[in-house]
A = this chain, B = another copy of it.
Amino acid sequence: MIIQFKKPLNQEILKDILNTMKQEHHHGILVDNHLVVFDIDSFDFNERQKSVIDRIEQHQPRYVLSSRAFKSDDTIIKTAHNEIGGNNFTVMAGPCSVENEEMIHRLAAEVKAAGATVLRGGAFKPRTSPYDFQGLGVNGLKYLREAADENGLDVITEVMSVAEIESVGQYTDIFQIGARNMQNYELLKAVGRTHKPVALKRGLSATIDELLNAAEYIASEGNFNIMLVERGIRSFDGTYTRNVLDVGAVPVLHKLTHFPVIIDPSHAAGHADLVAPLAYAGVAAGAQGLLIEVHQDPARALSDAAQQLTPAQFTKLVDHVNKIRAIDHEDEL
């Protein structure tokens, strides 16, 4: 059960309630003015206790802090240059990997011009084979940060291990947790402790419930700055698309959770000419942002060569997306 207290909190009665719960060996957590008690659905409060309670939600999913039952209004994540979630729409773009200093500076200017407000770029790359290009590491992060700052953009980049959190955290505004690490619980808890925004990518075969429970690992450490990224799921047919964009996950997640939902059409598509239609689909279904791979010369990219857009293609995509967004506003979707 979730007990929502009236504000301002009456500390005395609250303490009394917590004591009562403790005496009866109930297991719970207190977040702001919410007390979540995991093992019971109702409780016989006395009148004095009732007087400070605003609302009681009897049933809550296992991923309680991530649920609409816990927080019914949309979470808005504030960064230096963005408000992400709610009625906002955020375009994040950049290369799969930061390959050198010059390329990321040029790209940052180009994606900014097209409408992006967050610069993406990989410095530590998770690659299927240990012999593939693993990214520029800390140098890549520096270039990325400088390019973003020069253009008034936020930075999003992947963090792959607990040990890297501090150094990556110095350069990024948003930690990206990759699909392969969606259930790397130590990493989730560690980014949870930073309180910095986290973009959590759905695992290739993760259910919606597993995604939300993974988010819960971050939230349970006190970090509510979470956005969820649908990036395509694995199916039986990989002939023409790399993965299947589960566009239905967008409205499903909006029902279940208050966190923003972002679409990554690049990894779902796997082929540049499919990125735009998937992006339009995601936006039409209600996504609150896009994460897109852009490269000046995709054919020569050191990773994900097939699926990156040129700046010109990206500009056209953002323009079309804005028109779809305009309808939604009009119709108050």
Residues on A facing B (Cβ under 8 Å): 38, 62-64, 126-131, 160-164, 180-181, 183-187, 189, 204-205, 207-210, 213, 216-217, 220, 233-241, 244-248, 250-252, 255-256, 268-269, 273-274, 277-278, 280-286, 319-320, 323-324, 327, 330-331, 333
Contact = CB atoms under 8 A, between A and B. Distances in A.
A251 B277 contact: yes
Contacts of A234: 205, 236
Which 4 residue pairs of A and B lie closest in terms of their CB atoms, listed nearest first? A205-B205, A161-B186, A284-B284, A180-B183
Contacts of A181: 183-184
A180 B184 contact: yes
B131 A62 contact: yes
Given A62-B131, A162-B163, A208 B244 contact: no
Contact of A281 (B127, B238, B284): B284
Contacts of A239: 207-209
A185 B160 contact: yes
B324 A331 contact: no
A131 B236 contact: no
A246 B248 contact: no
A37 B154 CA distance: 41
A128 B204 CA distance: 16
B274 A278 contact: no
Contacts of A280: 284-285
Contacts of A269: 248
A110 B282 CA distance: 30
Given A216-B130, A327-B327, A247 B62 contact: no
A39 B215 CA distance: 41
Contacts of A127: 185
Contact of A128 (B126, B210, B256, B274): B210
Contact of A220 (B62, B63, B64, B130): B130
A80 to B, nearest CB: 29
A277 B248 CA distance: 7
B131 A38 contact: yes
A62 B244 CA distance: 24
